[in-house]
Chain A
């Protein structure tokens, strides 16, 4: 399952945001969620500009946050954002693409949090990999999903498996 939204910045560019849901096979075999809990919806957030060479007005990013929040409240599952390490054109050439994405995403999160009611939303942050190759991930979930998030985290971090 996927849900996507094309968001205009009203200056000629668009932001594409998508939720890609993990299928049953992935939930059972990769994330190792017990079958009785496998109906939980887990989606990864993807974000991209349509015209990669054109600037994007920040209003599109703010609209994206509203859209993501509405989807989160509607779906009542777990959302993840794992920062892509793909190249990215920015004015900050000394910052790794994934770090740039992480900083921007976090700023948007902090802004949205200050404007909306996030009291029921928990987050878990992960930094994965050695210096220089590190990427970043954040999971959003409601309190009732904490045991599942703990289980997935444990399974993924388990060095013995």
Chain B
């Protein structure tokens, strides 16, 4: 069930803040996770 894309060229401050917050948290979390697993996989390889 496809819906039409909603295009918001001038987002409200509320939407802007939401998107910025989600993206910032996503970026931080994913880099932490990636670095953790990268370290674990390297450690596993050395053993």
Residues of A within 8 A of B7 (CB): 126-127
- Verify A48–B34 contact, CB threshold 8 A: yes
Q: Given that A125-B5, A127-B7 are contacting pairs, would A51 and B38 also be in contact in the complex, using a CB cutoff of 8 Å?
A: yes
A112-139 vs B, CB cutoff 8 Å, 1 = contact: the mask equals 0000000101111111111100010100
Taking the complex as formed, is A96 at the interface, i.e. its CB lies under 8 A from any CB of chain B? no
Which single member of A49, A50, A128, A158 contacts B19 (CB below 8 Å)? A128
Residues of A within 8 A of B29 (CB): 18, 20, 46
Interface residues of A toward B: which range? 35 or more
- Verify B8–A128 contact, CB threshold 8 A: yes
- The number of A-B residue pairs with CB atoms under 8 Å apart is 94
Interface residue ranges of A137-161 to B (CB < 8 Å):
137, 143, 153, 155-159, 161
Residues of B within 8 A of A20 (CB): 25-26, 29
Interface residue ranges of B1-47 to A (CB < 8 Å):
1-3, 5-12, 14-15, 18-19, 21-23, 25-27, 29-31, 33-34, 37-38, 41
B interface: dominant SS: helix
Question: Closest 3 A-B residue pairs measured CB to CB?
Answer: A125-B5, A159-B12, A122-B1
Question: Which A residues are within 8 Å of any B CB, using their own CB?
Answer: 4, 6, 14, 16, 18, 20, 30, 44, 46, 48-52, 82, 84-86, 119, 121-131, 135, 137, 143, 153, 155-159, 161
- A52-B34, A137-B19, A159-B14 given. 6 additional CB < 8 A pairs? A48-B33, A50-B37, A82-B22, A84-B23, A123-B3, A131-B9
Question: Which B residues are within 8 Å of any A CB, using their own CB?
Answer: 1-3, 5-12, 14-15, 18-19, 21-23, 25-27, 29-31, 33-34, 37-38, 41
